[in-house]
């Protein structure tokens, strides 16, 4: 029997972290060996979340120092669901110790991605930065890229829960980048606009308007809306439960431990 892949989860007390802990524990190819969170203080999950996760995993304590935890346990990969302020340091801590990293936290800029890629290559270790783990979201982005060849006029609307602190989402940014690859430099000319309220036309990435909504009740949703002569096309993906991300998370872990360097986007792991 092959040795299990040993996993630490960063952001273990967050909603995604808790669900990921259960998914990792239940996967026969993975072993949950550590939990880290800035709000952790050495308590067990049982003390903190009142048994929301399977009992066998509750004996693990939640530590607030990832580097210290890395030195205490044998680990192959970290999964990061923290926040834009912590993700870079967490990824760097893993890579410099030759530990693979699966990043589900958005907020890394181009300079940070280049630094992490360099560090991964130097340590012959893999890092996967995944804006969206949902297979349906990957297909949505791919379909949007295909449509952009025929409908160059496009805008993106993304909807997330009101606890998400960064905007736009990594999925929206990735979608715009994929569309730009197809559209190239032939960008539709935009007439001069007057915004009566600054910002009401949304932000812009790769010359594509992106609109971000943050409301209670939503999880993760995105529409890519194309307009053409006498017609329109809307491509939409809805994530109704966070458990829908888990097949992608587990697949990313199993792929990334065998990589060297950086992979960006779930589509490049499939």
Active site residues per annotation: 160, 164
Phi-psi region of 121 (alpha: psi -120 to 50; beta: other; left: phi over 0): alpha
Report the distance separating Cα 57 and Cα 78, nearest Å.
17
Identify the helix (H) or strand (E) that includes residue 87. helix 87-96
| Residue 161 CB-density burial (10 A; 0-12 exposed, 13-18 middle, 19+ buried) | middle
Question: Partners of 10 in the beta sheet?
Answer: 36, 80
Q: For residue 144, give Cα distances in angstroms to 147, 251, 268.
A: 5, 23, 16
Q: How many CA atoms lie within 13 A of 232 on its CB side?
A: 8
Is the distance from CB of 222 to CB of 158 less than 8 angstroms? yes
Please report the beta strands in the chain, taking only residues with DSSP state E, as ranges in sequence order.
5-10, 30-36, 62-63, 77-80, 100-103, 126-129, 153-160, 203-205, 208-214, 220-228, 231-239, 261-264
């Amino acid at each position: 029997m092959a040795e299990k892949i040993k996993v630490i989860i960063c952001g273990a007390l967050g909603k995604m972290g808790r669900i990921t802990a259960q998914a990792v524990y239940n996967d026969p190819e993975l072993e949950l060996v550590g939990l880290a969170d800035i709000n952790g203080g050495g308590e067990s999950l049982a003390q903190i979340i009142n048994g929301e996760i399977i009992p066998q995993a509750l004996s693990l304590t939640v530590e607030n120092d990832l580097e210290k935890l890395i030195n205490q346990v044998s680990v192959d990969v970290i999964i990061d669901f923290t926040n834009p302020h912590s993700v870079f340091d967490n990824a760097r801590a893993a890579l410099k110790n030759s530990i693979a990293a699966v990043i589900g936290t958005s907020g890394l800029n181009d300079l940070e991605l280049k630094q992490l890629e360099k560090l991964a290559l130097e340590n012959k270790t893999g890092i996967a930065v995944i804006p969206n783990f949902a297979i349906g979201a990957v297909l949505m982005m791919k379909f949007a890229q295909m449509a952009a060849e025929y409908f160059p006029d496009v805008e993106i609307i993304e909807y997330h829960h009101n606890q998400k602190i960064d905007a736009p989402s990594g999925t929206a940014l990735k979608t715009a980048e994929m569309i730009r690859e197809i559209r190239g430099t032939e960008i539709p000319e935009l007439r001069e606009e007057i915004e009566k309220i600054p910002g009401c036309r949304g932000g812009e990435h790769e010359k594509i308007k992106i609109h971000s909504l943050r409301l209670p009740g939503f999880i993760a949703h995105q529409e890519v809306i194309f307009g053409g002569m006498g017609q329109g096309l809307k491509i939409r993906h809805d994530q109704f439960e966070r458990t829908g991300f888990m097949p992608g998370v587990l697949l990313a872990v199993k792929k990334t431990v065998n990589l060297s360097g950086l992979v960006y986007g779930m589509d490049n792991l499939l």
